[in-house]
Structure 1
Amino acid sequence: MKVEAFTRPVAVEVTAARYLKALEDGAQPGEAAGQAGAALIRDWAEARLRAREEAAGRDVTG
């Protein structure tokens, strides 16, 4: 499920928008790509943590 969420067109559009925003803010292309990629990784990590917390909550409550 997570992989599907991060490979949908909207996820690609968000990453592209972050890249373009970084370019507009004066970043070099490589730096802009790094910023967009790092943001994607942070989003993925936060989603994993939320999923773990939800799974742990289900284990406790039954």
Structure 2
Amino acid sequence: MTFLLIFTGLICFIGLIVTVIYVNIVDQNYSSEKSFRNLSWIYLLLIPIAILIVIGLAYVFLS
């Protein structure tokens, strides 16, 4: 169980790092809509993948 909590924390930390890196990129053609859309795609992809991995690991370790 501790492993799952550490793994989940790691996934959240990676998401935070990706967000900070992506937000700090200077773009001459900056568009808040473009930035929001790109960050939305990152989270829409990472959250379900992270949930599936955590569920899969929980199934493996707790069964």
The answer to whether the aligner puts 1:17 opposite 2:21 as a matched pair is yes
Letter in 1 for 2:22: R
**SS across alignment from 1:24:** coil
Let me know the Cα RMSD of the aligned residues.
Answer: 3.1
1:39 aligns with 42
Higher relative contact order (CA 8 A, sep 6+): 2
Distance 2:24 2:35 in 1: 8
**Structure 2 residues not aligned, in runs of 5+:** none
- Stretches of 4+ moved more than 4 A in 1? none
**Structure 1 residues not aligned, in runs of 5+:** none
Aligned length: 56
